[in-house]
Structure 1
Amino acid sequence: MQSQDVAPSPAPGSAPDRAVDVEQAEAALVEHYPRLVRLAYLVLPPGLGRGRRVLTAHALVQRALPRRRASAPVIPAQAQADGRDGDPGYAYVRLQVVRTALEAGLPLVRPAWPKRAQLPPLLPQVRGLRLFPRSGGADELALDQQLSALAGPARAVYVLRGLEKLTDGEVRKVLAEAGVADTDAALDEADAVPARYALLESPEFDPCSLQARPTDLLRRRRHTTAALAAAAALAVCGALVALPGDGWGPDGAAAPVYAQNPAAEAALDPGRLLRVSPVAWKTSARTDFSVWPARGALVRDTALLRRALAVWARPGATVQVSATPDTPSGPPSGPPQLLYAAEVGNARVVLFHDGLRIARYAEPKDGTAGAALDFARVDGAAGAEASAIVLDRADGNVRWLTAPWVTAAGERDLGKPGAGVMALTLTDGITSPLASPATRTGTCTGWNVLQLTDASGSRLLTDLGELVPARLTAGRPTAPKEATGAEALGTWAPYACSLADVRGQGVRTVNVWSYARQPLPDASGSAEWVCTRAETWRGDGSRVLAQFRTPGGLFGAAVAKAGDVPACGPRDPHVLAGVLWKSQGGHWYLLAAGDSGTRNVRATGGVRDSAPGPLLTAAAEKGAKAELKGTLADGRSVNGLN
């Protein structure tokens, strides 16, 4: 339970509670990427130069994910308005960034092997351009010079104090976790620099907002001439390797073939791809991906399809491969179904379906360097869940390929139910660009969703950064309804931004349920209790979020989160949650609410009280902690979400 003085933040848990999995760390990294890169840039030694600092900062953050489940540091993220409240995933990634940024400033010592952070980054790389942040004013320049005079640990102290708002005790613990031996000396050295922390947020120190200038043009011309000569020699050798037969040339970005497997080769033969008739969906009893026709101008481009299938089977070292959690990325077991092949923007895109997954292959128009392969699970998808696939992302917008039975598409702001729907054009099943919230950073002020209409009605889908959108519903978990009705839209509006909590988690559906209204003490009106439940394609990994909204509040406040629990779901449509709340009169109360099937609620621990029915209001002290338990009408117990 959380105090709702400003914004609730969960109390640090026990050591097992601070375990961080790869998906949780990735979600924190993606959501707070600009802040983490700024942190790395400020801690890195200025002697690297602004251009290399920029690339190294991005490289350190991108390498900060754990390889497997790991333990979060003892210092959780501080309560912030941008969503870092007590997030162990953010705390873990932040610690890795600080540790590697400090390692990058260490001198090379022979004969010891250099640490990875001490070497120039392999990725990201920029050819032909120098990138550096925008120049600031005299104050920023003076601060940069003062920070450059500090040792690495002292710079980290200044940045953690100013950018992360950590206390000195918390800074000591972070530095100790990062391997700094003398933390007191680092704090004393940082005290010599005036505390002008607001300057750390300026564009001068923002490695995500960059200026570009050319590198040494004469030197580049000489290098280009030498490279062309080498490429010509390589082309002669490559032509011999790529002669008809067993060569790897026609497969583009795919890795070489080391063994022949007739069954695998049959699955990769473009001539054996499954192609559904354009009218099959009209007479089929099914409404899933299996009845999507093959669409696009390049569905007969055998060379493109061969490359796409070869990369799927054996992606080369340069291919960027991504998959939703627990989605296998191996080759198809048989010839897959072709859904789409055409030029989209600056790329050629191919979409496949193998019964379990959607596979998206994309390559640049001018070659195969930089090819990408993405996977998403869609087993059991039907109706609304098989209505759209991401075709292209560019400049914060997304274009969708829709099912053949979709007759209209529109865009609406889920946070503004009265704003109506803005129509999107549909051309051969492709929507015009839609502003996507999937990669948005900073404060959430709205959440754009896709509304699709067919003969059976309309439904809402939201982009959560994956190949297929998540379906939005509203109502009691045992009988959820499409979220397009006026009542459902009104329920979703204050809680739309909570969808950011489940980005990149392989989410299939998200349901919102307003399960209780509670009169507030001190004549403060009535509060609304809502739970949102996200179900994933893999069946487990569900995320439940309990939220609390007071009268006049624009947004709900998250007061409890839980994963892999049946609460608020179709198998167990019951929920109980609580919050510490401060009235306008300055009094603190423990408020708790269960759904209508709750017979009584009890609080133990820092607050001891009970009440018949699903609602409990008890006087409390600031910071009090209590455990909640309820009894359902059938005699079973229900525990409060933590």
Structure 2
Amino acid sequence: MALRPRLPFVVGLRLFPRPGGADELELARRLVEVSAASRAACLLRAVHGLSEAAVHDLLASAGVADPAAAISAADSLAAGHAGPIAALLVSQEFDACALQAGPTDLLRRSRRVRLGLGVAAIGLTAATAMVMTATDDTVPGSSAPAPAADTAFRPADLVRIRAQAWDNTSRVDFTAWPPRGSRSHDDALLRRALATWAHPPAGTRIRLAPATTAAAPTTAPQLLYAGDVADRAVVLLYDGTRLARYSESRSPAHSAELSVARTDDADLTTAAAVSLNSGKNTARYLLAPWISEAGIRDLLRPDVLARPLRTAKDGVTQPVPVVSAGHGCASRPVLQLRSSARIVEKHSFLLADWGGLSPAHLTYIPLPGKDGPPGRPREATGSAALLAWAHTACALGSLGDAGVRSVNAWDFAEQDLPDRGGTAVWTCARADTWSGPGDAAVTLRTGREPSARTVARARSTAACSRFGQNIAATTGWRSPTGHWYVLAAGSRAVTRLTVSGDVSATRQGRTLDLPASRRPRTHVRATLATGEQLNALESP
């Protein structure tokens, strides 16, 4: 009779996928609920970036009875998920080649090993405590936790998008950026960046945009860039809703800095450039792969064409001058970019550095027509837009210095001035932030003044947005003959203006001017076509 070996013994190996987090488990549950054709369509659309037509043809050639229904179910699956589904689908939990192997019969052995390790840990802890009590050699600053590489993601976990994904996707944003930079395969640098985002060590300078958390990503982030910029090494990561820029000195000390900013719902323009450094006078930008032409222009000189901006093969620009707060208004440099014709033909737009990781998108709404519908924001590259921004740019220093997503200049009223003062244009400039709230500033510009002057401001307001399309404002104005007037104006839906205070009067229409004493103090109330009352924005 054959003798059996003493238990436990290994009979075979058990293969099973690597476990994922809560997001992966939820996605796995949703995938089970749809058909195999829908799962295939989801993978082809989200991960491989194929168009709807291409996926339809592939499913039809594979014998799927209703490809359109499968694609519809795949799109609803992606839309119903809170985060970027592509990053989850490429994780190890859904990788059929990433398996764990283990014996099937080592339960008792594992219990014994754990028991032995527990006893050894207790002994080691006691011995360590005795040694520390005897020596008491504490290193200053050692209480700060070091980067925990075992809890951070590894460089191999990073999501890397193929180089031409932006040319074959309906989602043109940061999810279409490929990894670039000379150090995109430097595992040591990438490991330090990931570990710092997970557990910033003592001494790390952390910069957070408004309403942004520094919490580590819950899924493996996407690598956008890793390379040397001036005297620092820079790593740019994206987790689906936030950009994280890690930089360190190229000296052995590796003094580190981590900047994190919200970028949820970025698009072709707001995901077109990212600042790679935080210099006081200049900045280098990493341009999106779909940018075919780059230039720099001065907003204060609308009649001067943009000059070309040199860009390296990896998308990094030459140093671009930036203007810090409190440095006057001699110039206002902005980026003028053009998208590839493979995305949209003849599409140029302006980006201005507002102190954040991604520059703010500048737009413009012209004066309302006599009978036309309300205007919509358009690119600020036309002659009327450039003229408006030339007068308005210097008056926008009060709109905040970080977290700005876009700034729109809306010429909402035009007014003939008394005493042959010419024509005035009322403009509401609104800065929208990534977190939602926005600030507004109303300016008045005339042909006799080189720049507009701010006459009203509002913080955290819906004014001058698509949710606040009605506005009124007022100011005192001195004519060329030296006489003072109260000026007021409202947007297209205003039918009557009522002034109270140092001067009292009511006028039908969208504008008024009333003689007044020096620097009059007044309050204006506007009546809309619907009969609703609207208070004018307050002066600064």
Select 1:466's aligned residue among 343, 356, 367: 356
The answer (yes or no) to whether the contact 1:289–1:353 under 8 Å persists in 2 is yes
**What is the alpha-carbon distance in structure 2 between the residues aligned to residue 572 and residue 395 of structure 1?**
36
Q: Per-residue deviation at 1:370? A: 2.6
1:549 correspondence with 2:439: no
What are the equivalent positions in structure 2 for 1:207-356 lying under 5 Å apart? 255-256=145-146, 265=151, 267-356=152-241
- The structure with the largest alpha-carbon Rg is 2
Q: Per-residue deviation at 1:478? A: 5.4
Select 2:399's aligned residue among 496, 502, 511: 502
**What is the alpha-carbon distance in structure 2 between the residues aligned to residue 599 and residue 301 of structure 1?**
65
**What is the alpha-carbon distance in structure 1 between the residues aligned to residue 277 and residue 461 of structure 2?**
35
Q: String of CA shifts for 1:528-551, please: whole Å, max 9, x gaps.
A: 2111011110012x1110011222
Partner of 1:594: 490
The answer (yes or no) to whether the contact 2:181–2:227 under 8 Å persists in 1 is yes
**What is the alpha-carbon distance in structure 2 between the residues aligned to residue 478 and residue 638 of structure 1?**
21
* Cα 1:390–1:415 shift into 2, 3 Å: same
**What is the alpha-carbon distance in structure 2 between the residues aligned to residue 445 and residue 341 of structure 1?**
35
Partner of 1:621: 517
Q: Matched residue of 2:175: which SS?
A: helix
Partner of 2:462: 566
Q: Matched residue of 1:386: which SS?
A: coil
Partner of 1:446: 331
Partner of 2:21: none
* Cα 1:393–1:296 shift into 2, 3 Å: same
Q: Per-residue deviation at 1:394? A: 3.8
* Cα 1:280–1:618 shift into 2, 3 Å: same
The answer (yes or no) to whether the contact 2:276–2:285 under 8 Å persists in 1 is yes
Select 2:390's aligned residue among 486, 493, 511: 493
**What is the alpha-carbon distance in structure 2 between the residues aligned to residue 270 and residue 611 of structure 1?**
68
Q: String of CA shifts for 1:66-108, please: whole Å, max 9, x gaps.
A: xxxxxxxxxxxxxxxxxxxxxxxxxxxxxxxxxxxxxxxxxxx
Q: Matched residue of 1:383: which SS?
A: coil
| TM-score of the aligned structures, taking structure 2 as reference length | 0.69
**What is the alpha-carbon distance in structure 1 between the residues aligned to residue 398 and residue 443 of structure 2?**
13
Q: Per-residue deviation at 1:465? A: 1.1
1:380 correspondence with 2:265: yes
Partner of 2:365: 475
The answer (yes or no) to whether the contact 2:161–2:179 under 8 Å persists in 1 is yes
* Cα 1:502–1:255 shift into 2, 3 Å: farther
**What is the alpha-carbon distance in structure 2 between the residues aligned to residue 354 and residue 367 of structure 1?**
29
Q: String of CA shifts for 1:317-350, please: whole Å, max 9, x gaps.
A: 2111001111111111111001000111101100
Q: Matched residue of 1:635: which SS?
A: coil
The amino acid across from 2:182 in the alignment is: A
Q: Per-residue deviation at 1:585? A: 2.4
Q: String of CA shifts for 1:576-628, please: whole Å, max 9, x gaps.
A: 11111122322211100111221010011222111100111112122432111
* Cα 1:620–1:334 shift into 2, 3 Å: same
Q: Per-residue deviation at 1:499? A: 3.3
The answer (yes or no) to whether the contact 2:147–2:200 under 8 Å persists in 1 is no
Q: Matched residue of 2:189: which SS?
A: helix
**What is the alpha-carbon distance in structure 1 between the residues aligned to residue 448 and residue 147 of structure 2?**
64
The answer (yes or no) to whether the contact 1:576–1:630 under 8 Å persists in 2 is yes
Partner of 1:533: 430
Q: String of CA shifts for 1:182-211, please: whole Å, max 9, x gaps.
A: xxxxxxxxxxxxxxxxxxxxxxxxxxxxxx
Partner of 1:524: 421
**What is the alpha-carbon distance in structure 2 between the residues aligned to residue 490 and residue 253 of structure 1?**
57
Partner of 1:584: 480
The answer (yes or no) to whether the contact 1:253–1:315 under 8 Å persists in 2 is no
Q: String of CA shifts for 1:346-372, please: whole Å, max 9, x gaps.
A: 011000000111000000111344310
Q: Per-residue deviation at 1:275? A: 0.7
**What is the alpha-carbon distance in structure 1 between the residues aligned to residue 421 and residue 232 of structure 2?**
57
Q: Matched residue of 2:407: which SS?
A: strand
Q: String of CA shifts for 1:370-402, please: whole Å, max 9, x gaps.
A: 310001110000110110000124461111101
The root-mean-square deviation of aligned C-alpha atoms, in Å, is 2.0
The answer (yes or no) to whether the contact 1:274–1:337 under 8 Å persists in 2 is yes
The amino acid across from 1:506 in the alignment is: G
1:435 correspondence with 2:321: yes
* Cα 1:532–1:390 shift into 2, 3 Å: same
Partner of 1:7: none
Q: String of CA shifts for 1:226-277, please: whole Å, max 9, x gaps.
A: xxxxxxxxxxxxxxxxxxxxxxxxxx9993268x9x8xx2x52111111111
**What is the alpha-carbon distance in structure 2 between the residues aligned to residue 333 and residue 453 of structure 1?**
34
| TM-score of the aligned structures, taking structure 1 as reference length | 0.58
* Cα 1:498–1:368 shift into 2, 3 Å: farther
* Cα 1:254–1:459 shift into 2, 3 Å: farther
Q: Per-residue deviation at 1:572? A: 2.0
* Cα 1:370–1:529 shift into 2, 3 Å: same
Partner of 1:96: none
The answer (yes or no) to whether the contact 2:399–2:441 under 8 Å persists in 1 is no
**What is the alpha-carbon distance in structure 2 between the residues aligned to residue 478 and residue 317 of structure 1?**
51
* Cα 1:254–1:345 shift into 2, 3 Å: farther
Percent of counterpart pairs with the same letter? 39
Q: Per-residue deviation at 1:526? A: 1.6
**What is the alpha-carbon distance in structure 1 between the residues aligned to residue 461 and residue 210 of structure 2?**
18
The answer (yes or no) to whether the contact 1:508–1:534 under 8 Å persists in 2 is yes
The structure where helix makes up a greater share of residues is 1
Q: Matched residue of 2:464: which SS?
A: coil
Partner of 1:36: none
Q: String of CA shifts for 1:518-568, please: whole Å, max 9, x gaps.
A: 11112221212111011110012x111001122221100001000122221
Question: How many residues are aligned here?
Answer: 384
* Cα 1:502–1:618 shift into 2, 3 Å: same
**What is the alpha-carbon distance in structure 2 between the residues aligned to residue 286 and residue 639 of structure 1?**
41
The amino acid across from 1:409 in the alignment is: A
**What is the alpha-carbon distance in structure 1 between the residues aligned to residue 273 and residue 325 of structure 2?**
21
The amino acid across from 1:530 in the alignment is: T
The answer (yes or no) to whether the contact 2:147–2:195 under 8 Å persists in 1 is no
The answer (yes or no) to whether the contact 1:254–1:311 under 8 Å persists in 2 is no
Partner of 2:501: 605
* Cα 1:607–1:505 shift into 2, 3 Å: farther
**What is the alpha-carbon distance in structure 2 between the residues aligned to residue 522 and residue 502 of structure 1?**
33
**What is the alpha-carbon distance in structure 2 between the residues aligned to residue 410 and residue 516 of structure 1?**
32
The answer (yes or no) to whether the contact 1:590–1:618 under 8 Å persists in 2 is yes
Partner of 1:371: 256
Q: Matched residue of 2:303: which SS?
A: helix
**What is the alpha-carbon distance in structure 2 between the residues aligned to residue 526 and residue 469 of structure 1?**
33
Structure 1: unaligned runs, 5 residues or longer: 1-251
**What is the alpha-carbon distance in structure 2 between the residues aligned to residue 358 and residue 268 of structure 1?**
16
Q: String of CA shifts for 1:134-168, please: whole Å, max 9, x gaps.
A: xxxxxxxxxxxxxxxxxxxxxxxxxxxxxxxxxxx
